[in-house]
Structure 1
Amino acid sequence: MLIVALANPLDPGPAALLAEAQALQAATYAPENNHALPTEALAAADIRFFAAREGDRVLGVGALAIRVGYGEVKAMFTSDAARGKGVAAALLRMIEDTAREEGLTRLNLETGEELAAAVRLYERFGFTRSGAFGDYVDDGVSLFMSKDLA
């Protein structure tokens, strides 16, 4: 059974999956276009970090960064073995539910066209393409998406 719960990104299972995600980001994007948070930053007080587990196996991770006036989806990643099994959808549902509990009315995220499966997931969840937000700049590489929470 898949369980999604708050987790510590510094624990071995989540940290290993985050390292895999960061390696993919580094291979896909130039350093100036790579906006992944370092693993240590995902343990900050303004981050709600989640792991999806089946037993002791960490299958996916994702985070909600609490910002002034909105939440930001960060660090979404699913292991290769778990792709297509609803792990990312379960994580995104938890992030949305937590954002609502935190009183947030909007979610934003930054991704890239190269991550087509992620873009499809976000679109299925009602995210639409939007402009840059927060400290991001429109660099022609990043894809920005947002969703109003009702």
Structure 2
Amino acid sequence: MQIRLESPRQPDVVQLIDDLDAFQKPLYPPESHHGIDLNALDQPHVLFAVARSEQGVALGCGAMVLGADCGEVKRMYVRPEARGQGLARALLALVETAAIARGCTRFALETGPLQPEALGLYARMGYEESGPFGDYAPDVHSVFMPKEVQVAA
């Protein structure tokens, strides 16, 4: 397995994002979808990671959008056949580490209550449920989870 920061503008990565949308869109009403598009992912303030098999097949992705007060986790997805191998944890750890290297010490994310595996992963990675952050409004279809990072001096 190889996980590294890459461009989201690759056909196999675009397919991952499309697969994520196909998975999530039936779960929640349109007004509760907060994914970002390819143009937003392909910006200098976005860290985008891809997990690949030894053969170079894209198996998962995840992003961290670096904002003024925190980094927001976006577009986390692992293909069903690759789940259970720690890829999501490794993707999240990579974008967190890269964000910390850029001076980010607070992370946050929005996910849905119908995704228990995602909620479990984020809780194991130190994210805790809280109220909305940034421009988000309260929504019964959203779970908001921030994480403060302790950086050694």
Cα distance in 1 for partners of 2:4, 2:94 equals: 8
CA–CA distance in structure 1, aligned partners of residues 70 and 108 of structure 2:
7
Q: Give the corresponding residue for 1:22.
A: 21
* Residues 60-103 of structure 1, C-alpha deviations (whole Å, 9 max, x = no match): 00001001111000000000110101110100110110121011
1:7 aligns with 2:6: yes
- 1:28-84, Cα deviation, whole Å (9 max, x unpaired): 111100001112221122211110111311110000100111100000000011010
Instruction: Give the drift of 1:3.
Output: 1.1
What TM-score does the superposition give when structure 1 sets the normalisation length?
0.96
CA–CA distance in structure 2, aligned partners of residues 88 and 12 of structure 1: 20
Match of 2:52 in 1: 53
Q: Which residue of the partner structure matches residue 71 of structure 2?
A: 71
C-alpha distance in 1, partners of 2:97/2:135?
25
2:81 aligned partner: 81
Question: Does the residue aligned with 2:25 lie in a helix, a strand or coil?
Answer: helix
Structure 1 residues without counterparts, runs of 5 or longer: none
In structure 2, how many angstroms separate the alpha carbons of the residues matched to 1:138 and 1:112? 12
Between the two proteins, the alignment pairs up a number of residues equal to 149
| Matched position secondary structure for 1:21 | helix
In structure 2, what is the Cα distance between the partners aligned to 1:44 and 1:66? 10
Measure the CA separation in 1 of the matches of 2:141 and 2:134: 16
In structure 2, what residue type is equivalent to 1:146? P
Instruction: Name 1:123's counterpart in structure 2.
Output: 123
Amino acid corresponding to residue 33 of structure 1 in structure 2: S
**Contact 2:47–2:99 (CA<8 Å) still a contact in 1?**
no
- Residues 73 and 107, structure 1, Cα contact 8 Å, conserved in 2: yes
CA distance in 2, matches of 1:93, 1:41: 21
Deviations 1:111-135 (A, max 9, x none): 0110110000000011100111111
When the two chains are superposed, the root-mean-square deviation of aligned CA atoms in Å is 0.9
Q: Distance in 2 between matches of 1:15 and 1:41?
A: 13
Query: Structure 2: where are the runs of 5+ without partners?
Result: none
Question: After the TM superposition, which of the residue ranges 71-80 and 21-30 deviates more from structure 2?
Answer: 21-30
Q: CA deviation at 1:27?
A: 1.2
Structure 1 runs of 4+ with >2 Å offset: none
Task: Report if aligned partners of 1:49, 1:61 keep a CA contact under 8 Å in 2.
Answer: yes
Counterpart contact for 1:72–1:107, Cα < 8 Å: yes
Instruction: Check the 8 A contact 1:48/1:65 in 2, yes or no.
Output: yes
Answer whether contact 2:49 2:61 (CA < 8 A) is retained: yes
Partner of 1:112: 112
